[in-house]
Structure formats: structure tokens, C-alpha cells
Amino acid sequence: MDRRPENPNPSTMADWRPPPPSGPRRHPSPLHHGHSSVTPFPTHHLLVVDSARSSMATTTSSSRLLLHGCAARVRSILAADARVENAAVNLLAESAAVRLRSPAPGAGEELAERLTVCGFPSAARRGGATAGAAESALKWREMAARKSELLTRSRGRVAFAWTLVALCCGSHASHLLHSFGIHIGHGTFLDVLHNSYVKCGLAMVALFGPGRDILFDGLRAFKQGSPNMNSLVGFGSAAAFAISAVSLLNPELAWNSTFFDEPVMLLGFVLLGRSLEESARLKASSDMNELISLLSPQSRLVITSSSDDLPSDGILNSDAITVEVPVDDVRVGDSVLVLPGETIPVDGNVTGGSSFVDESMLTGESLPVAKEKGCPVFSGTVNWDGPLRIKATTTGPSSTIAKIIRMVEDAQAHEAPVQRLADAIAGPFVYTVMTLSAATFSFWYLLGTHLFPEVLLNDISGPDGDSLLLSLKLAVDVLVVSCPCALGLATPTAILIGTSMGAKRGLLIRGGDVLERLAGIDAIVLDKTGTLTKGKPVVTSIASLAYDKMEILRLAAAVEKTALHPIANAITKETELCKLDIPTTSGQLTQPGFGCLAEVDGRLVAVGNLDWVHNRFETKASPTELSDLGKRLEFVPSSEASSSNQSKSIAYIGREGEGIIGAIAISDVLRDDAKSTVDRLQQEGIATYILSGDRKEAVEGIGETVGIRSENRRSSLTPQEKAGIISTLQGEGHRVAMVGDGINDAPSLAAADVGIAMGTHSKENAASDAASVVLLGNRLSQVADALSLSKATMAKVHQNLAWAVAYNILAIPVAAGALLPQFDFAMTPSLSGGLMALSSIFVVSNSLLLQLHGSLQKAERPGPDHLKSRPKSQIL
């Protein structure tokens, strides 16, 4: 983090006194409050409504309605409530996230009841943002089990429907074989199947058996004023049956009674398509299900009455016992035992044992990480080698994996703006199709057959060329071939897969809207400290005007001990290495980007950059003293740094009544992947900038090393100046992403089109709160990975939408008979139903291809046995 924001009023700061002693404040900056402005759904106003699970029949009805084109209807029902500010429907997760204008007790239950009354059986989700790991896992596992059972039942209906299709088409098959000289199938059984009344019975069985849900769901939705895909298919099937029934009961019409085959074949194709679509949707959820599998429902709690330290190579005390308990029952301070092959259930520190831990699902890093006593471990990671005893530091809903899953769930509920186009089309789609169907009938019956009399020679008009039969069949074709489902599935399937893939690879992307903005980025602004550099600086030298160097270090550590930025960490770590006692402070004030101020031993002490510290106190060091102080800071590169890849910062220390009394030189090392990432971004045509609050010399050196153009390097900037430069770039037409890691980066992250926070799963800060993307792997190369994933995801979204729109634009005119006059081609209802089903299958399958996205494919990870055979240096 670079430490230089706006320059506060010196006189005001000089008069500042800390509040009464109440312990140091970790986040005194106002940037740590009021994050609702950058968080899409504030926790205290968030309601989540799920599909009802009271019975399998109810679930089937609800999930099917959501799947086939009613997401917009659900959203409009919720938005009609005066208490609702906005609502987002997660079609694939069968849930809706609602943001209220103000807290309203009982609103969730009332909204769920309203949806149920309108034909979408729902229930308010309990727990919300405070749900524990076990509860989150239970919700997703229940939904996966429900979908799996629905798929099984769907396959049963498909088998039943196609048995009826085979029976209906049996007589046609016998005639076909007879034409080839195969004289079988002319027996009594097939003669019975050829009977029109038998076919009528088979069609009725199809309508009220496997097609019952489609028929009644469609009718119910139509009566409630929200017709959907089931309405179109149900009306088309019923119309085909009605036409055949009229033909059967009125022989004088001389229509072809074998038209009873059509509703049976239509339902067979539709049910087959939906079964394949359900299977594809389950595969689309596989990444999310894999994340959920990392939530361990149980943990092995260690109970012991002994307070003795563990033996040097031991895991448990001699009197220790272990008890299996739900993971949500583990409390901070408890010890748990994790055996090889098990998922670590809580965040904590290793207190016994050593092993290798697979953290790939959190950071995207394929190689395992060595863990021993004192090392931190995180929930959701997998223990490979040996047993570990872990002391819990974070549990339940605050654990790493629970937070990640909650963020991914929220992200999938935030729609991409392109979804509004799909909603705008899908909303009036069904009424439009019904109108087109009526217009098709009217045209051909009143005008078309008179303008093109030759069309009556087509088989669709029956043996006697009846214009009424032709018009009815074409009208049914239009009803059945139209497909709003492909439009409804185009965006959410790709967003689901994209966000889940990102989470598995250490990229937390907060919604489809973020993916869409990220895909359009053409300029990236990089912070220096902690972004281009490793963010783990070390103290290289100390200089003092009057005090012992260790005293300067002690005073600096006292002021910085509660701060979280890398420079503060370097100072406190050096103090610990020198085994110095850190004085207590009675308060602290942080000026992000400039430094920190605290009262130590009754006098104010400031640590920060030269100008800020120099102006804090009335007593000023002379220019000669300051020059001499700088010369004393001899800079000796560390063993892993060279002059070309090292960044040097200087923290000055001032004391009330004395002015500046010393300085500490701190160096940071360039990230290993910094140059390759900048090169990769520039090769993709993305302009790169470095904006830093650090000294010009440090910024220029780092910028030159990584290859950022000199005119794109800016130093000595306040946080507000960084945000201003970003706004200027946006004013020039650029779509800007900002990459940072600290408190002073929060304004810039919020100002950018997309904020990207460097970070690890071991901490949270203002940067990750303000960012739209969080890089859990803490690797700069993940910036390029996130851009690549977003572009691939949005490409799938655009392909899906293009297909869905093009299919309907082409299929509806053909179904309406556009090719009949010139090419003598007309669809049948069964063919129309098959094409309609295939359109949805194409959209989901195309989204599944996103899982093959090359640049983010995880490398094959070695298993535990292979790991043991590798030299330790290769793993570390």
C-alpha cells in the first residue's frame, strides 16, 4: 500500500489528542464504514427467496416455471411491491435476491407467499448472510438432490412418452417395411394400433400422463396472466389433439385421423429435450457443487483436560479424546484433528503435526503448501500427508470457504446488463407468439390458400386439400416452434459457469455485471506497493539524529503496531526480530497514504512520509539535519533483490517537541510475475499505468523494469489524485480497471469501472471491500486470467443470445408456412417441438464449453503418493 493521501491541515493535526484509552482502533479511517455504497446487496436489507420444497410435486412445478421463461415474471412480481428497491432472479439456483428500501420484518415471508399465489411456490430462506457452513452446504446439497430426483423422474416420463410414440408410429413402421418387401407387422396387433380410436386413447394417455404437468402448468400460468413456455406447448398439444378429435368425430371432413400421432410425438420431443437440458444444467452447476463439497459438515473436536504442551512430534496429549461434532458447533479457540485426505473444517493455526495442504480451490495454485506448527490453514483446503491438530481462529459463517461461497452465490444473483435485453424480449414473447399464431391461421384460411392454391397439394392439408386443416396445423406449428427458454437461459448459464470457475481458481468475481464490465476493459491502473511488488517489505537500514537506532525502531513500532499495511508489518516484524519491547499507546489516528499518529509515553509520535511528518509538529528539523539523515540510510539490497527489481521506501519518525528524529529505510521486491503479466496485458492491447504515492525514484525504477511507458508512470499521488486520474481516463473514453491492495486504494477501486483487489484469504481490508474482483491467489497474473475468463464468458453470452434470437427469427416464419408456396415445405407439430427443444439444449451445451477455457485450466495436481517421491525443494 502506498501511503500518501490528501495533506491534512497541520494546525488541526498538531492539536489532535487521542480519545480516552480504550485500546487501539484497528480501522479508524472513515473508509472502513458505509461500504453499502459499493456492496450490491447490503446484508441488513437482503432477503433471499427459494423455490418451495414442501413436496416434490410443488418443487417440480416451481423449478420448471423458473427454468422455462418466467424469471422476468418473478422479477416483476417482486418489483411491484413498494418495499422492494430491486430484485434479481437466479434462474439456475432457483432463488431470488431482493433488496429492500428499508428493513421490514416479515417481508421475506410475505414476498414468498405472493410468489406462491402467482404460481411460483416459494419460501423465504432462513439465515441469509449469517448462515453457517453446515447450513449453506445443506441448502445446496438439498437442491442438488432435488434436481437429481427431478432428472430421474423426467427420464421416466421420457421413457413413457416415447413408448407411446412407438405405439402410435407402429403402423407407419409396418407400412414402411412392407414397401421394402419385408412383410411383417401386418398382424392383428398392428391393425389394432392403426385404429383411430386406439390412437386417440394413446394421445389422451400422453396428454394426461407424461404431459400432464406441461398442460396444467401452462393453463394455470395463462389464467394468472403470465403465460409461459408450458402454455405454448400445452396449447399446441391440445390443439393438435382437438384437430384430430374433430376429424375422428366428423368423418365427412375427410381429414387424416393419423394426426393423433402429432401431439404424442410433440410431447415426446419436448420431454426429451427438457430431460437433456436438465442434465446439462446439472453439469453447469458442477463447479459450484465442487465448491460446496469443500464445506465439511463435521469436524473432529479434540477434548483434553491437560494444559501441557504437546510433545515435539506429537499430535494429541495422552489424555486427549476426539468427538465428531457439526462444524458450526466449533468455537474459536477449540482444537480439531484433521486426518490425511480430509477437508480442513475451520480457519486456524497448526498446533501439532506437519503435512502438505492443497489450497488450489482457494488460490488456484496447483502445488500443495507445506504446513507445520505455527502455520495458518484455511477451511476448504485439503490435508494430504499427515494428521494435523489445528486451533480454530475463525469458524462458521466467518470462515474462508463460507465467505467465498456466499460471495459466489451473491455474484450469481447479480445479472449482467445484457440480461435486460433478453428480459425485454422474453417478457412479451409468449403473447407475441400467440398473436402470430392467430395471424398465421387467419392469413392462410382467409387469404393464403386463395393466393397460393398449390399449397393445398401438400400433405399438411390432408388428402383432400382442406384449407382449414392446413391453417390449423400451421398455427399450431408457430405455437410449438417458438422458444423463449433459450433467451432466458442464454445469460445465467454462462454467468453461473464463469463465476464458479473463477472461484475455483482463486478469482472472486462479484456478479455478472462485473464480468460484463471486465470484458470491456482497455486500460489497467496498477498500484506499486503490494501490487507490482510482493507487499512484504523488510527494514534495510535505520538512521537517527539523536536517539539510539533501536529506540527509533521501538517508537515506530508502537505507532504502527495496529496498522495492516506492508510498511507497518515490516517495522513491527523487525522489532520482533530484534526482541524489543513495544511501548503502549493511548490512541491512534491513521491518515491513509500519509502515515500514522499516536501518543507514546505522553507525547505524540508520527510515522510517515517526509512532508507529512515534518508538518505535524511546530519544532522543525533543519534542512541540513534532514539531508544528513538521508545520507545515513545506507541501502543494502537483500539476498533476493537487485537494483532492478527492488523498491525502496523511507518512513520518517517525528516526536512532539522535537520534530523529525529518525528514519527507517524499507525495501520491497518485485513480484516474479509482474513483468510477464504487464507484457501479457499489453499484447492484448490493454494500456497499463502505474499510479503510486511512493517516491518518483522508486516508481520510475519499477515502471521501467516491468515495461510500463514513462508517460504512464505517476508518483507521489494522494488517493484522491489517483481517483482523479482514473476519472480523467474514463472521460477520454477508456474503460478502466484499478488493481490495488490497501486502504488508500479503496477510493481508486471504487472510482474505476472494475476494482481488482490483491489479497489472500487470510485477511480482509478496505481494498477487498471496495473491489469488484478479489484475487485470492495474491498473484498478479490472475489479473490477466480474470480478463481472459470474463471475455470468454461474455463471448458465450453473446453467442447464446445471437442463437436464441436468430433461431426464433428464422424458425417462426418457416413454421408459419413461409417456404410452403415456393418450396412446398411445411413443418409438422412434432418437428417443431423437436427444434424448440434443441434450441435450449444448444444454449446450455454452448455454455458448458466454457469449462474448456484453455488459459484457466488447472494443471494436473500430483497426488499424495507422488508428492512424497518429490524433493521438498520442488514443492516449496
Nearest to 206 by CA among 856, 830, 862, 869: 830
Spatial distance between the Cα atoms of 492 and 498, rounded to a whole number of angstroms? 10
Encoded amino acid at 692, one letter: S
Which set of grid coordinates corresponds to residue 620?
522543525
Within 80-211, residue ranges assigned H as helices are 107-117, 133-179, 188-193, 196-208
- Catalytic entry in 527, 741, 745, 769: 527
Beta bridge partner(s), residue 47: 98
Within 664-780, residue ranges assigned H as helices are 674-683, 696-706, 719-731, 746-751, 766-770
Identify the H or E element spanning 774: strand 773-775
Within 561-664, residue ranges assigned H as helices are 566-577, 610-614, 623-632
Give the distance from CA 314 to its chain's centroid.
41
- Tell me the DSSP string of 44-66: GGEEEEEE--S-HHHHHHHHHHH
Which set of grid coordinates corresponds to residue 14?
498538531
527 is catalytic: yes
- Tell me the three-class secondary structure of 399-441, residue by residue: CHHHHHHHHHHHHHHCCCCHHHHHHHHHCCHHHHHHHHHHHHH
Spatial distance between the Cα atoms of 184 and 246, rounded to a whole number of angstroms? 32
Is 230 within 8 Å of 174 (Cβ atoms)? Answer: no
Spatial distance between the Cα atoms of 282 and 402, rounded to a whole number of angstroms? 22
Encoded amino acid at 271, one letter: L
Cell match 463460507: residue?
402
Spatial distance between the Cα atoms of 94 and 86, rounded to a whole number of angstroms? 17
CB-based contacts of 530: which residues, under 8 Å, 6+ apart?
Answer: 1, 565, 566, 740, 741, 742, 758
Encoded amino acid at 372, one letter: E
Give the distance from CA 527 to its chain's centroid.
25
- Backbone φ, ψ for residue 691 (5° rounding): -120, 120
Burial 385-399 (b: 16+ CB within 10 A, else e): bebbbbbbbbbbbbb
User: Which three-class secondary structure state does DSSP give residue 338?
Assistant: strand
Which set of grid coordinates corresponds to residue 244?
384430430
Is 217 within 8 Å of 64 (Cβ atoms)? Answer: yes
Q: What letter would DSSP give residue 310? A: P
Burial 576-613 (b: 16+ CB within 10 A, else e): eeeeeebeebbbbbbbbbbbbbbbbeeebbbbbbbebb
Strands ordered across the beta sheet of 523-526:
507-509, 773-775, 754-758, 736-740, 523-526, 687-691, 713-714
Cell match 499484447: residue?
683
Cell match 430462506: residue?
125
CB-based contacts of 839: which residues, under 8 Å, 6+ apart?
Answer: 483, 485, 486, 803, 804, 807, 811
Known catalytic residues are 527
